[in-house]
Amino acid sequence: MNFRRKRIALGVFLLLTWLCFWFSYKIFRNLLYEDYPLTDPDLVNITIAKDSVCQSGTKFAIAIHNAINNTALRQGIRETWGNSSHHGIPVVFIVGLNDNKDVHDLISLEHSTHEDLVVGDFVETYRNLTWKHVISLKWFITYCPSANFLFKFDDDLFVQPKKLVSYIESIENKFEKPNILCDTVLSAETRRNKKSK
């Protein structure tokens, strides 16, 4: 009799433990996906883009991640290294949206003048940077089908596109295609602090 009670108690304990684990997992999973949605390219769309930025035969393209309010920074890049007439590489600025209608009107005016903005239909926040990457790739695939290389830069860099192209052309036969070339950080610890960038 005593043995039977222990088996029942153990069974109830295991069942309750499993139920606690299952509910905790469901709650954690829902919280995780609300904070970090999956990067399905169909979840975001391009609201503004010029389809003639990339001409046929274009081999390279540059996408610069930029905040929607940084008009002066975009203009500075256009007047320096981002001027396509100096190097022949199409350059676009990837931005998101915000709640200010005046900014949207200015963005439309800026795009009609320069035709180099790609606007995604997501809110411009630091946590939504992943969507900028998705929009960059979506733009590249949709609007630049003849290009083989997409260079992604942040707006706080100074780049020499001719030297970059020369370097890529010297090594392009040394790796398989398709491929992503980037800096590798080894032995880095994951930061789980929500306040950390």
pLDDT digits (tens, 9 = 90+) for 129-159: 888 888 898 888 888 888 888 999 999 999 9
Length of the chain: 197
What b-and-e string marks burial along 46-80, b requiring 16 or more CB atoms within 10 Å of the CB?
A: ebbbbeebbeeebbbbbbbbbbbeeeeebeebeee
Give the pLDDT confidence score for residue 73 in this predicted structure.
Answer: 94
Q: What is the pLDDT of residues 100-136, one digit of tens each?
A: 888 888 888 998 899 899 998 888 888 888 888 888 9
Confidence of residue 24 (pLDDT cuts 50, 70, 90): low
Quickly tell me which residue has 């320069």 as its tokens.
Answer: 114
Query: How confident is the model over 153-167, as a mean pLDDT?
Result: 91
Query: How confident is the model over 54-64, as a mean pLDDT?
Result: 87
